[in-house]
Chains A and B, each alone.
Chain A
Amino acid sequence: METTATQTLAEWYRRMLLIRAVEVRLGKASRTGELPGPVHLSVGQEATAVGVASCMRPGDWAASTHRGHGHFLALGGDPKSLVAEIYGRATGACGGKGGSMHVADLSHGMLGANGIVGAGIGLAAGAALTAKQRHTGGIAIAFFGDGGANEGILFEAMNLSAIWSLPLLFICENNGWSEFVRTESLTAGQISRRAEAFGIPESQVDGNDVLAVHEAATEAAERARAGLGPTFLEMMTYRTEGHVESETTFLPGSYRPEAEVESWRRRDPIDQLASKLSNLGLDEDALRQMQDEVAQEADSAFEFARESPMPDPATAMTDVFEEDPS
C-alpha cells in the first residue's frame, strides 16, 4: 500500500467505475432489447481486469475471453468505440463486425475478446513467443475463467510456456460459476495448483482486492520480463450479474442462492477500493466527483453509440484479407 501512491489508486478506482458504469448500462440495454446480441458482463470482477492491466507496459499484449468488456477498458480502450461495437455500429471498435464477444483494440495491446472458451490462451502464448523471439522485453497475458481452466489448450500452454520460458501470465478469473453450473462440481482440485505440476509458480489471489491483484501481477510480470518464464495466478472473484444478460428469459429459475450473491456484493471490489481511498484521506466529495464524471463519460459513450450509423452493407464483404504482400 505504501508503495502505491494514492493518485494511482484513484486512477484504478476511476477505471473500475468506468467498467461498472458501462456494463450496468449494457445490461439494461440488453434487457430492454436494444442490443442485437448477447452480452456477458464482468460486474463484480473489475479489480482483476484493472489490477492485471496495471502491470502492463506499451508493447505488452493481453488476450481476453467472452467476458471481455472490462479487459478492453482496463487496457485503455475507448468506451465510445466499445459501446458502439456492441450496438453493431459503423463507429465501433471493429466496425460492427465483431460485437460484444469480439471487441478488440490492437492499439492498446488488446488481442480481442474471444467467443471460444480458452482460445485466448493460444493467442497470448503466440504473443509471448513473439516477445521472446524478438527480444522486445514485452509480456503477454492470457485471461480465462474457471470454465476455461478445463480446456485442454490450457494444459498444452502450461507445458510449452514452461519449457520455452515464455513471458506469459496465466490469469484465471475464478468467478465460481461455469455458465450455470457451480465450478466445484466440474473441476478437480484447486485450479492454480495445476501449474505446480509444470514447475510454474502459482498462487491464489483475492481477485476483489485490486491492490492484491496488482502486486501479484507485477511480480509475475517482472519474472516474465526477466526471462524466468510464466506464472499462474488464480483470481478468486465473483460475477454478481448473470452469465449472460438474457438468461432470465430462458432459465426456469435462479441457479444460485441469493445469499451467496449478496455476500459477494458486500465484498464489492469498487466499494473496497473506495474505503481504502477514504482511509488515505480522499474525501466523499472527491469520490463523488469521480463517480459523476465517470457516469457522464459512460452516458456519452451510449449517446455516441445510439447516434452512430449502422455499417455500410458493402463492408460485409471487406476485411477478409489484407491484400498487400510483405
Chain B
Amino acid sequence: MARVRLIQAINQALHEEMARDDRVTVIGEDVRISLFGDTRGLLEAYGPERVLDAPLSESLLSGMTVGAAATGLRPVLHLMYGNFLYTAWDAIANQAAKLRYMTGGQFALPLVFMAIFGGGRSQGAQHSDSMHSMLVNLGGLKVVMPATPADAKGLMKASIRDNNPVVFLQSAGRGGEAGEVPDGDWIVPLGVADVKLPGSDVNVIAIGAMVRLALRAAEAMAKEGVSVEVVDPRTLRPLDSPTLLKSVRKTGRVVVIDEGRLSCGMASEISAIVAEEAFDALKAPIRRVASFDVPIPFSPALESQVLPTESRLIDAIRSTL
C-alpha cells in the first residue's frame, strides 16, 4: 500500500499495462510530455511507436482508434478535455458504440477514450462539461468515473484489459488528490459499486468528484447525529444497480448527486431505477442534486452557483429526514 496522487495512479496503470501487453498504444495531443502527468514517462519506457503525439484531429483520431482496435492494437486515446469528445463524436457515437453490434459481433474493440472532465476551476463552459450521461445513453459504451486514486488505477487497468470501448473520465479537479493504492496487480472490475462510507439514516449516491463532496457532507451530518451512507457506482455502464438498491433499502432515504446537468442526467436515471425497483422501501421522495441546466460559467462567483455544492447536498439530505 502506497500513498499516491490520483493522476500518478493512472500513470502507474498505464505503465503497468503497457509493460504487460505490447499492443497497448497511447495516442493523443502532448502525450509524450504529458500536460496532466498521466502519460509521463511512457515514451522513455515504451518508445515512440507506442506513445504517439498526434495532431489536433479529434474526429480522425477517434475513428483511427476504433480502426486500430478492430485490427489488433489496444489503443488508449487521450482526448485531454471531455468537451473535446464532441469533436470526436462521430467515431465515439456512430463507430465505437455500434460497430460490434451492427456487425453481429464481428468486431472486438479493446480501446479506451480517456479525458478529464467537469468544472470547478474556471476553465469556462467549453472545458468544464460532464458528458457521461450522453455516453451512457449511446447504448454501446462502457463508462468509467473513478473518485479515488485506488479506483482510478484499478479501473484504468480493467478498462485497458476490457475488449470493449471504454470511456474513462477523470474528474478535472481531483488529479492531485492523494490516497492509498494497493500494491501489486491492482484491478477494480467494471460494474462493481463501492460503499465509500457505511451509514444507516440516508443514502447518498455520488458520482466522480461528487464522492468527496458527499463524504464531507456526511461528516457534517454526523455532527447532527445523522448517519449518511455514501455509495459510489464507479462505473455508469455497467451500472451496479443491485448494490445501489441494497443501500437504498437499508435507509429508505436517497439523495443522488451528480456533476452532470439535471435534465436527462445520471442522477435522473438512478432516481428512476430506485423509484421503479425500491419504491416500497422509500420513506421520503428521492432527491437529486446536479448542475443546473445552463453552460458552466467562468467566474468563480457564477460557477459555484451552477455546480453542485456541499450546502445544496446537505439541504437535500435534510429534506429527506
- A321 an interface residue at 8 Å Cβ cutoff? yes
Interface centre among A97, A111, A123, A140 (most CB of B within 10 A): A123
Residues of chain B within 8 A (CB-CB) of A128 are 67
CB distance from A7 to the nearest CB of B (A): 31
> Once the chains are docked, how many angstroms separate the CA of A129 from the CA of B59?
16
Interface window among A26-34, A151-159, A258-266: A151-159
Q: How far is the CB of B31 from chain A (nearest CB, A)?
A: 14
Which of B2-10, B101-109, B120-128, B129-137 sits within the interface? B101-109
Number of B interface residues in the complex (CB < 8 A): 49
Interface residues of A in 81-111 (CB under 8 A from B): 92-98, 102, 104-106, 111
The count of chain A contact residues (Cβ–Cβ below 8 Å) is: 49
Among listed A112-120, A171-179, A188-196, interface-contacting one:
A112-120
A100 to chain B, nearest CB (A): 12
Q: Does B139 contact A (CB under 8 A)?
A: yes
Is the pair B60, A160 in contact by a Cβ cutoff of 8 Å?
yes
B23 contacts across to A, CB distance below 8 A = 134
Contact of B64 with A326 in the complex, beta carbons under 8 Å: no
Closest to A318 in B: B105
Q: Given A94-B104, A119-B90, A127-B70, are A112 and B63 also a contact pair (CB < 8 Å)? A: no
Residues of A within 8 A of B139 (CB): 320
A126 interface residue per 8 A CB criterion:
yes
Minimum CB distance partner of B57 in chain A: A156
Contact A94 B102 (CB under 8 A): yes
Q: Which of B71, B105, B164 has a CB less than 8 Å from the CB of A130?
A: B71
CB contacts (< 8 Å) of A320 on chain B: these are: 100-101, 139-140
- Any chain A CB within 8 A of the CB of B119? no
Q: Is the CB of A98 within 8 A of B103?
A: yes
Closest to A115 in B: B94
Let me know if A126 and B70 touch, CB within 8 A: yes
Question: A319: CB under 8 A from chain B?
Answer: yes
- Closest residue of B by beta carbon distance from A99: B102
Contacts of B99 in A (CB 8 A): 104, 112
With A106-B106, A122-B60 known to touch, is A127 a contact of B101 (CB < 8 Å)?
Answer: no
Cβ of B164 and Cβ of A121 under 8 Å apart? no
Asked if B50 CB lies within 8 Å of chain A CBs, one says: yes
Measured CB to CB, the nearest residue on chain A to B50 is A133
A119 touches B91 (CB 8 A): yes
Complex contact B55–A159 (CB within 8 A): yes
Q: CB of B72 within 8 A of chain A? A: yes
Residue from B21, B73, B74, B142 having most chain A Cβ neighbours under 10 A: B73
Contact B101 A319 (CB under 8 A): yes
Q: Are B105 and A319 in contact (CB under 8 A)?
A: yes
A286 within 8 Å of B (CB atoms): no
Does A129 lie within 8 Å of B63, measured CB to CB?
Answer: no
Asked whether A324 is an interface residue with its Cβ less than 8 Å from the other chain, the reply is: yes
B102 touches A122 (CB 8 A): no
Let me know if A163 and B63 touch, CB within 8 A.
Answer: no
Determine if B67 and A129 form an interchain contact, defined as CB atoms under 8 angstroms apart.
yes
Least Cβ distance of B45 to chain A in Å? 16
Chain A residue contacts of B69, Cβ below 8 A: 126
A127 and B100 contacting across the interface, CB-CB below 8 Å: no
Q: Could you tell me if B106 and A104 are in contact, using CB atoms closer than 8 angstroms? A: yes
- Asked whether, in the complex, the Cβ of B104 is within 8 Å of the Cβ of A122, the reply is no
Contact pick for B63, options A61, A126, A134, CB 8 Å: A126
How far in angstroms is the closest Cβ of chain A from B139? Answer: 7
Does any Cβ of A come within 8 Å of B95's Cβ? yes
Which residue of chain B has its CB nearest to the CB of A124?
B67
What are the residues of chain A within 8 A of B49 when measuring CB–CB?
133
Interface residues in B60-104 (C-beta closer than 8 Å to A)? 60-75, 90-91, 94-95, 99-104
- Is the CB of B312 closer than 8 A to any CB of chain A? no
Q: Find chain B residues with CB under 8 A from A140 CB.
A: 67, 71
**Is B212 among interface residues, defined by CB-CB distance under 8 A?**
no
A123: which of B67, B73, B110, B158 is its contact (CB, 8 Å)? B67
Give the docked Cα–Cα distance between A164 and B104 (Å): 33
Smallest CB gap from B27: residue in A? A129
> B67, A322: Cβ atoms under 8 Å?
no
Q: Please name all residues of chain B whose beta carbon is closer than 8 Å to the beta carbon of A236 when the two chains form the complex.
A: none
Closest chain B residue to A135, Cβ basis? B49
User: B25: CB under 8 A from chain A?
Assistant: yes
Asked if B60 and A326 sit within 8 Å, CB to CB, the answer is: no
Q: Are A116 and B90 in contact (CB under 8 A)?
A: yes
A121/B60 in contact, CB under 8 A: yes
A201→B111 CA distance, assembly (Å): 32
Q: Is A22 on the interface with B (CB-CB < 8 A)?
A: no
Q: Which residues of B contact A47 (CB under 8 A)?
A: none
Apart from A61-B67, A134-B23, A153-B60, 8 more pairs, CB < 8 Å? A98-B102, A111-B70, A111-B71, A121-B60, A126-B65, A133-B49, A133-B73, A325-B163
Partner-A contacts on B (CB < 8 A): 21, 23, 25, 49-50, 52, 54-55, 57, 59-75, 90-91, 94-95, 99-108, 110, 139-140, 142, 158, 161-164
